[in-house]
Amino acid sequence: MSAEHKLSGSNRVVVKIGSALLAHDDGRLRAEWLDALARDIAELRDDGAEIMIVSSGAIAVGRRLLGLARGPRNRALRLEESQAAAAAGQVRLAHAWQETLGRFDVPVAQILLTIEDTEDRRRHLNARNTIATLLRLGVVPVINENDTVATDEIRFGDNDRLAARVAQMMGADTCVILSDIDGLYTADPTKAPEAEHVAEVYAITPEIAAMAGETAGDDGSGGMITKIEAARVAMQSGCRLVIADGRVTYPLAALEDGARATWFVSNAEPHTARKRWIAGTLKPEGTITIDAGAARALANGTSLLPAGVTAVEGRFERGDPVVVCDADGRELARGLVAYDSADAQRILGRQSSEIETILGYRGREEMIHRDDLVES
Ligand code: GLU
């Protein structure tokens, strides 16, 4: 038992729900279960947590809607059929979320992402800002992979990866993977009766990875391998990840009451992990020189506004890492810039209120948002 692990007190939580939990074998949604989960989510939100849902199930639901129902041999769909099923099922799925969370006055918004959207810095910046805005407005984003336009084979388990990437991108502190098993076992418990449950993991050692290798799930669960990979990404980002049994009604409440699960504990903190990524691992593409006033503001932890910028060097795109220097060329900080170098040149030294007139579009107020800025 892991009585010391609680969901309450979390700041930002990603909850990932697999297809097998959301839909019956014939593709009908499990409405009562979903309603129970919605209550859990509403309670966690009332407790002060910002919540993002990564919901699978589009293909499972869509194949029924399109008459591509599972035959006795559970025929695998061709890629274009899966993509068509996802397109149809996603509408139904999003509607179900809206309806069920609506009962608790929780507004939802649909976000369809590709993995690249969470990995590529340029797209990352927009996806991150949009989701952050939704969270600020009290909305619960319901996220799925944009299967219809994905160019790779759609694999079950992709959403485990997506959930961890979203957690990383958003600086979540907790990622809950609701599964059809109550966590990780030393071997596949359906085959090895001596398999033991693992309650806590502090590092993805080769032994842990090997345990996952023996627990391949069916097509609805994604198996353990992708979950362990998700745990690795989450832990590196300072986010704890828990694999919990989603088959019970009120699964989050059960987890809170100490239900058996596997907790992957991170020794980092999300904010620090993201800042380390910006400061350490990215190669700067340009330099932004700022005046003394902006340098003082920066030292106080505020965003960098165009007004305080005196020079822009290098060629960079939106979202690229840049170095921020003072007039003497001393490095003060590094950050992800919200404008490309050409636009940054045009708005330097100007008030944020002038940006729209100068550029012809309404960009961000900040040259570098403080969340994307790390002091050197
Ligand atoms: N995106 C897929 C769907 O909604 C599921 C992928 C997964 O379960 O990992 O049907």
Q: Which residues line ligand 1 (CB under 6 A)?
A: 18-19, 56-60, 86, 144-145, 147, 156-159, 222
Do 159 and 57 meet the contact criterion of CB atoms below 8 Å apart?
no
Q: What is the pLDDT of residue 354?
A: 94
- Residues of each domain in the chain carrying CATH 2.30.130.10: 282-375
Residue 365 tokens, joined: 């107020």
Please give the distance, rounded to the nearest whole angstrom, from the Cα atom of residue 145 to the centre of ligand 1: 7
Q: What is the pLDDT of residue 217?
A: 45
- Select from 64, 70, 81, 158 the residue to mutate for testing ligand 1; criterion: most ligand atoms less than 8 Å from CB: 158
Q: What is the pLDDT of residue 192?
A: 85
- Select from 159, 180, 229 the residue to mutate for testing ligand 1; criterion: most ligand atoms less than 8 Å from CB: 159
Fill in the amino acid letter for 147.
Answer: D
Please give the distance, rounded to the nearest whole angstrom, from the Cα atom of residue 82 to the centre of ligand 1: 10
Q: What is the pLDDT of residue 71?
A: 58
Query: In angstroms, rounded to a whole number, what is the distance separating the alpha carbons of residues 308 and 349?
Result: 6
Of ligand 1's listed atoms, the one at least distance from the Cα of 93 is: 4
Q: What is the pLDDT of residue 3?
A: 45
Ranges of residues in the chain whose predicted pLDDT is under 70: 1-3, 70-75, 120-121, 151, 153-154, 156, 214-222, 281
Q: What is the pLDDT of residue 267?
A: 85
Q: 3-274 architecture in CATH?
A: 3-Layer(aba) Sandwich (3.40)
Q: Which CATH superfamily is domain 282-375 in?
A: PUA domain (2.30.130.10)
Please give the distance, rounded to the nearest whole angstrom, from the Cα atom of residue 158 to the centre of ligand 1: 7
CA dihedral sign of residues 235, 237, 242, 247: negative
- Select from 56, 63, 225 the residue to mutate for testing ligand 1; criterion: most ligand atoms less than 8 Å from CB: 56
Q: What φ, ψ does residue 182 adopt, rounded to 5°?
A: -90, 25
Q: What is the pLDDT of residue 70?
A: 66
- Residues of each domain in the chain carrying CATH 3.40.1160.10: 3-274
Query: In angstroms, rounded to a whole number, what is the distance separating the alpha carbons of residues 212 and 331?
Result: 45
Of ligand 1's listed atoms, the one at least distance from the Cα of 220 is: 8
17: β partners: 55, 178
Please give the distance, rounded to the nearest whole angstrom, from the Cα atom of residue 159 to the centre of ligand 1: 6
Q: What is the pLDDT of residue 139?
A: 98
CA 102 to chain centre: 22
Determine the straight-line distance between the first and last CA of the chain, rounded to whole angstroms.
42
